[in-house]
Amino acid sequence: MLTLGVETSCDETSCAILEDDSRILSNIVSSSLFRHQEFGGVVPEIASRHCLEQIDAVYHEALKEARIQPSDIDLIAATQGPGLIGSLFVGVSFAKALSYALGIPLIGVNHLEAHLLANFIDQPEPEKYIGLLVSGGHTSLTYHEHGKICLLGSTVDDAIGEAFDKVAKILGLGYPGGPAIEELAIKGDPRAIPFTKPKQTNPFDFSFSGIKTAVLYFVEKKNFERRDIKQIGKSIRKGRSKESVYIKPSQQEEAPWLRDLAASFQHAVTQWVVQKTVAAAKDKKVKTIAVGGGVSANTYLRAQLQEVAREEGLKIYFPPLSLTVDNAAMIARRGVELYRNGKRSEMTLSGVPNLVLGGKS
């Protein structure tokens, strides 16, 4: 069975061909990231315009790489939500038109559920596990049992990726913030600055907006005014090539305190996530954890989770780095699962910007 995955939830436009649920024949991703960098975050209008411009070419490239014809496709799975409404509409409309023209079934997929299934393309999905989703727009813990998903907790304010991005902005490190902070933190002391852990009534909920403010206060305490921070940011950025989003190590010498701040921030948010994930596994009496989303590319988070997994005897899955970013192969994978469970979408399918994890999709 060949499934076409279509992903346009935010700033990426992606089409993939998945054979059964286990073999990626193609997974083409066109990102509009470079168009948003000068604005310090994703501009919805630019993102949806990029999706519209790219979708047809990305689809044809996916067919070409998979060496198949449109008539070979058996199923179409498209991201229904959550995401930016303009971008979602592009993929959903494209998928509906193709499904109608080819006379093949269509399935709307929840983007967040797909992020976690990116772990199980070349290996079977465990019967029970805890899902930890750490992305730019969402942070949540879920309990998965035989394909059914139950939400245990989620962020009450900012998502973890959003916190990385906002802290990076405060420090003048550019967008996206995650990779920039990770690189800066390598030579920093993760225990230099202790950040207070936020308290939640639900032990599986998260909060990341307080630490962003704490970072700002820390910087102000050091008598760095916003003007100075911007100057630091500028001078760090000066030598960077246009394509690169990373800071050169030599330029970090200009502000050594940045390294400790980046490392301490990364350490704090990682610790909170790790502790809650292990607590969820204990609560549900499961020994398996699957991680997904853009922040799951973070090496420090991976190392800390691996360490605690060893101590607690847990098995932990991380997606391959190429599948941590938004991509259509994971959408196709979730689509196949839903199709096998008897799910079909109608031609009335529409993008749902606030679709919830574990909800109807």
Binding of residue 32 to ligand KG4 (CB under 6 A): no
Which of the stretches 54-62, 65-73, 174-182, 256-264 binds ligand KG4 when contact is defined by CB under 6 A?
A: 174-182
Scanning residues 282 to 321, which ones bind ligand KG4 (CB under 6 A)? Answer: 293-295, 297-298
Scanning residues 127 to 166, which ones bind ligand KG4 (CB under 6 A)? Answer: 135-138, 161, 164-165
Angle at 165 between CA 163 and CA 170, to 5 degrees: 95
Which of the stretches 65-73, 172-180, 230-238, 327-335 binds ligand KG4 when contact is defined by CB under 6 A?
A: 172-180
- Minimum distance of Zn ion from residue 182's CB (angstroms): 18
Structure tokens at 112: 């967040």
> Which residues is 292 bridged to in the sheet?
133
Binding of residue 325 to ligand KG4 (CB under 6 A): yes
Binding of residue 135 to Zn ion (CB under 5 A): yes
Nearer to ligand KG4, 262 or 316 (CB): 262
Give the Cα separation of 330 and 217 in Å (integer).
40
Binding of residue 329 to ligand KG4 (CB under 6 A): no
SS3 category, 5: strand
Give the Cα separation of 145 and 149 in Å (integer).
7
SS3 category, 302: helix
- Minimum distance of Zn ion from residue 137's CB (angstroms): 7
- Minimum distance of ligand KG4 from residue 105's CB (angstroms): 26
Give the Cα separation of 127 and 323 in Å (integer).
22
Long-range contacts of residues 65-71, Cβ cutoff 8 Å, at least 24 apart: 65/17, 65/25, 65/26, 65/28, 66/2, 66/17, 66/25, 66/26, 67/25, 68/2, 68/17, 68/25, 70/98, 70/102, 71/102
Binding of residue 7 to ligand KG4 (CB under 6 A): no
Binding of residue 260 to Zn ion (CB under 5 A): no
Nearer to ligand KG4, 29 or 338 (CB): 29
Torsion, Cα of 79, 66, 94, 120 (10° steps): -10
Which of the stretches 60-68, 130-138, 178-186, 252-260 binds Zn ion when contact is defined by CB under 5 A?
A: 130-138
Residues that bind ligand KG4 in the complex, under the rule CB under 6 A: 10, 135-138, 161, 164-165, 176-179, 182, 293-295, 297-298, 325-326
